[in-house]
């Protein structure tokens, strides 16, 4: 079952002067037709200006189409009466967690969303406890967010969305401002939410290693999908990625070089773990 569908989605950014005269316009999305299956993990990648972040903002009604349609669990994002319902179904996590954290205590921040939709206190605090446990931050419940690392803050932001019980979570470059340890902690939490909580994940990222964790990768270029497939399928076409100004993950690049040098590695290597497994298999055959 599809939780999100876009039908001939187009978006044009228009700049006007003080008199309302159009001085510039840019097509950010051009006739995009996509379906996202419920429970899936999809990564959207592309160079700067490819349209991936504009796409993300359409998926929870932060932007409305210039033309075409976006459906979230059957709800049309152009319907001005539905934004709250859509955002309860498809939550959004942004790059900078400091822009999403508003309370002085972690549990109060996670409780903010459920309080705003009028849930009874006992259900709010039950959701807070469950959400913090889901992202591995139960021990930080009574702490100030100011005392947390960047990765922990981002996980608090994710917990705040999780407390709304969304079916889908859209993460717009959530690790862009984090160090490697912070990126790992956030991605571990995201993978757990998808695998254990069955939350549909849509990850916008410029880290190819993160994209490799997804079931499906969509490559955006000039406002439309230029490639769509599993990580193994996307990473197998190095020439196409080069044309799209994208680089393979280091482990995949190394695997391709070893194959060119005659090492009998299988196709479909997508990360360091699968490379090690493939090399072990080669060595065991000798």
What is the sign, positive or negative, of the torsion defined by CA atoms of 59, 64, 65, 69?
Answer: positive
**pLDDT digit string (tens) for 198-251?**
999 999 999 999 999 999 999 999 999 999 999 999 999 999 999 999 999 999
Reported as half-sphere exposure (CB side, CA atoms, 13 A), residue 189 has a value of 28
Query: At CB < 8 A and 24+ separation, what contacts does 187-192 make?
Result: 187/213, 188/136, 189/134, 189/135, 189/136, 189/155, 189/158, 190/158, 191/41, 192/134, 192/135
Distance CA 141, CA 109 (A): 10
Cβ(262)–Cβ(247) below 8 Å: no
pLDDT along the chain (286 residues), means of 10: 96 83 86 96 95 94 96 95 91 89 94 90 94 91 94 92 92 89 89 92 94 96 96 93 92 90 86 88 73
Q: Specify the pLDDT at position 211.
A: 96
Residues 6 or more apart whose CB falls under 8 angstroms from that of 80 comprise none
Residues 6 or more apart whose CB falls under 8 angstroms from that of 120 comprise none
Distance CA 149, CA 153 (A): 6
Q: Specify the pLDDT at position 286.
A: 61
Residues 6 or more apart whose CB falls under 8 angstroms from that of 58 comprise 6, 9, 11, 29, 64, 65, 70, 77
Residues 6 or more apart whose CB falls under 8 angstroms from that of 44 comprise 52, 55, 56, 202, 203, 204, 205, 217, 218, 220
Residues 6 or more apart whose CB falls under 8 angstroms from that of 13 comprise 25, 26, 28
Can you give the C-alpha Rg of the chain in angstroms?
21
What is the sign, positive or negative, of the torsion defined by CA atoms of 56, 58, 61, 63?
Answer: positive
């Amino acid at each position: 079952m599809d939780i999100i569908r876009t039908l001939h989605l187009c978006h044009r950014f228009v700049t006007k002067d003080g008199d309302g005269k159009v001085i510039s316009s840019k097509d950010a999305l051009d006739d995009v037709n996509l379906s996202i299956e419920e429970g899936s993990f999809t990564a959207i990648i592309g160079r700067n200006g490819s349209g991936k972040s504009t796409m993300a903002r359409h998926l929870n009604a932060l932007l409305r189409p210039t033309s075409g349609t976006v459906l979230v669990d059957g709800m049309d994002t152009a319907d001005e009466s539905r934004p709250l319902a859509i955002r309860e179904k498809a939550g959004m996590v942004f790059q900078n967690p400091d822009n999403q954290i508003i309370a002085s205590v972690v549990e109060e921040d996670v409780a903010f969303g459920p309080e705003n939709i009028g849930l009874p206190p006992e259900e709010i605090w039950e959701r807070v406890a469950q959400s913090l446990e889901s992202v591995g931050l139960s021990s930080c419940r009574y702490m100030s967010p100011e005392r947390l690392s960047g990765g922990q803050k981002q996980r608090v932001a994710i917990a705040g969305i999780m407390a709304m019980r969304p079916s889908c979570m859209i993460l717009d470059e959530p690790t862009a401002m984090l160090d490697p340890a912070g990126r790992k902690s956030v991605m571990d939490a995201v993978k757990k939410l998808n695998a254990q909580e069955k939350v549909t994940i849509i990850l916008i990222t410029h880290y190819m290693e993160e994209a490799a964790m997804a079931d499906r990768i969509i490559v955006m270029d000039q406002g439309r999908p230029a490639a769509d497939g599993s990580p193994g399928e996307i990473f197998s076409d190095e020439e196409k990625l080069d044309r799209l100004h994208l680089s393979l993950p280091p482990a995949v690049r190394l695997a391709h070089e070893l194959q060119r040098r005659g090492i009998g590695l299988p196709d479909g290597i997508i990360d360091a773990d699968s490379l090690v497994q493939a090399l072990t298999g080669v060595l065991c055959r000798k």
